Structure 1
Amino acid sequence: MESVGRESAKDNALFFTCSLIDYIARKTKNTRVEVVNALGKKNLAKIYDLSDVYHSDNIERVSDDFIREARIKMGNYDNVTACKYAIPSYWDIGKVYKRLIKAVAEREKIEIIDALLKVYNSFVSSKIDDYNSSMYYENPSYLLECYWENKLI
């Protein structure tokens, strides 16, 4: 597997995909699961497969293109404004999701995009997206165990 820097190209692609999802969610004031489901498997695979191209472009323009293509409407979910503490960047959140999705894909022996859809559609996603909780900076193995147990442990 091709490696760029400390991580593989596929890990970087997943990181960018998850970060873009968070960026779009913040911009459109939707939950992350709403953005993932609106984008759909085809667009998610496109972002993942072409992440090296999209990453070299302006994230504002890339997000606008996918918002338009997927017809993502403005929502009223604003976890950034609601945050009472330091707000994690969309890159920070992308890293959290990347680790969890990669672990799920490896353990379940499924494709990355299938794991991405499962993780964002799980209860863990709403917990990670609550920036007033501690979930987004919890140990990756704890997040994975919560995902497997389908509850906070």
Structure 2
Amino acid sequence: MTGREDSKENDLFFTCSLIDYIARKTKNKRADIVNALGKARVSKIYDLADVYHSDNLDRVSEDFIESAEIKDGTFDSVANTKYSVPSHWDIGKVFKRLILGIAREKHMDVIDALFEAYNSFVSSKIEDFNSSFYYDAPQNILNAYLDGRIE
């Protein structure tokens, strides 16, 4: 461990932030991006995050958009936001914490937990920047996922 957190947690943070960056850039939902990238590409991003993190994020995102043939969509979570827009880094951190919680609670591999998180109802709540859900405590977001509802 170097720095404030485990290096693989930081790799997951980068992976989630890149997913969010691509979603915003292509105007797609985060689940659509994860599913279009597929397990092999997401695993590659996660495994090589320390290398990709050193590169230009726009170029890295373009490479994955092209290789996964991601088309522009119509979901614009930024344009529809009435309040302060969280950065792709902010949302990456929210998803990282959720994924780590799912992996821990369900005894899953991180990549499998990532697909679970992004394909759950919680993902659409997080990407609604007009709600305050993404600001909730990480444990509350995890509990919503585990309980299958938001209280």
TM-superposed CA distance for 1:107, in Å, is 1.0
Residue number in structure 1 paired with 2:66: 68
Structure 2 CA distance for aligned equivalents of residues 110 and 79 of structure 1: 29
Quote how far apart the aligned CAs of 1:109 are: 0.9
What is the distance in 1 between the residues matched to 2:104 and 2:147? Answer: 17
Give 3-state SS (helix, strand or coil) of 2:77's partner: coil
**In the aligned structure 2, how far is the partner of 1:103 from the partner of 1:10?**
14
Give TM-score, length-normalised by structure 1.
0.98
Instruction: Map 1:106-121; keep pairs closer than 5 Å.
Output: 106-121=104-119
1:133 aligns with 2:138: no
Q: Which amino acid aligns with 2:141?
A: L
For 2:32, the equivalent position in structure 1 comes to 34
Identity of aligned residues (%): 60
Please give the root-mean-square deviation of Cα atoms over the aligned residues, in Å. Answer: 0.4
1:3-57 deviation digits (Å, cap 9, x = unpaired):
1210001000000000000000000000000000000000000000000000000
Matched, 1:98 2:96: yes
The one-letter amino acid of 1:52's match is D
2:87 is matched with 89
Segments of 5+ residues of structure 2 without an aligned counterpart are none
**TM-score when scaled to structure 2?**
0.99
Q: Out of 141, 149, 152, which is 2:150 matched to?
A: 152
